[in-house]
Structure 1
Amino acid sequence: MRATVLFAVLAFVLAFGVAGLASVSPASARDYRWCVQGRGVGYPGDCMYQTRAQCLASASGRNVTCGINPRAAYGQQRRGYRDRY
């Protein structure tokens, strides 16, 4: 009896965990303007900082720098230069 209850609880927890992981996707990650970039974090890096000060505080004491997120930088370019002609 005890083994059956334990198995049922374990199956429930496992199913709940798998369902929770299935809902996580890379598209849900936030891309803010500032990224911690360098060895160990790659490029574009860890882009979860709204301000440069936040990025610098996270980079402090590590061998990394702060840079502008390329997705945010290129997303701010004006579009429609063909419309001017």
Structure 2
Amino acid sequence: MRKTQLVLLMLGAAVLAGFATVTPAAARDYPWCAQGGEYDYPGECAYNSYEQCQASVSGRLLYCDRNPRFGYGQEQPPQPRPHRRTRPVAPY
């Protein structure tokens, strides 16, 4: 009986430790959105390609359109790469 309680206590502690280390998933917008029906604007923006979106909305009375964050330039521009400095080559 005592061993069972100890095992349950250790299992509970391990589960709590696991929950304490979980971090939420980072949200990411993709270029294509499923729109219409039960989705508010801009829709479910979870598709890399138009074909993926079309496959998902097939038979669901939805349609695919560009993600407005991508279509209207609201995404963050890529950071420029730093210029690499090179040594001048000495003439022979």
> Helix, strand or coil for the counterpart of 2:72?
helix
Distance 2:16 2:39 in 1: 31
Distance 2:60 2:9 in 1: 45
Distance 2:27 2:12 in 1: 30
Structure 1 unaligned blocks of 5 or more: 77-85
Distance 2:39 2:19 in 1: 27
- Normalising by structure 2, report the TM-score: 0.67
Structure 2 unaligned blocks of 5 or more: 75-92
Where has structure 1 moved over 6 Å in runs of 4 or more? none
> Helix, strand or coil for the counterpart of 2:21?
helix
What is the Cα deviation at residue 19 of structure 1? 2.2
What is the Cα deviation at residue 53 of structure 1? 1.0
Distance 1:65 1:16 in 2: 40
Deviation track 1:29-67 (CA, whole Å, cap 9, x = no partner) reads 221110011222222111111111111110001021111
More helix by share: 1
Hey, what does 2:9 align to over in structure 1? 7
Select the structure of larger CA radius of gyration. Answer: 2
Q: Which residue identity lines up with residue 52 of structure 1 in the other structure?
A: Y
Q: Which residue identity lines up with residue 24 of structure 2 in the other structure?
A: V
* Coordinate RMSD, CA, aligned: 1.7
Q: Which residue identity lines up with residue 59 of structure 1 in the other structure?
A: V
- Normalising by structure 1, report the TM-score: 0.71
Task: Report percent identity of matched pairs.
Answer: 46
What is the Cα deviation at residue 15 of structure 1? 2.5
Hey, what does 2:48 align to over in structure 1? 50
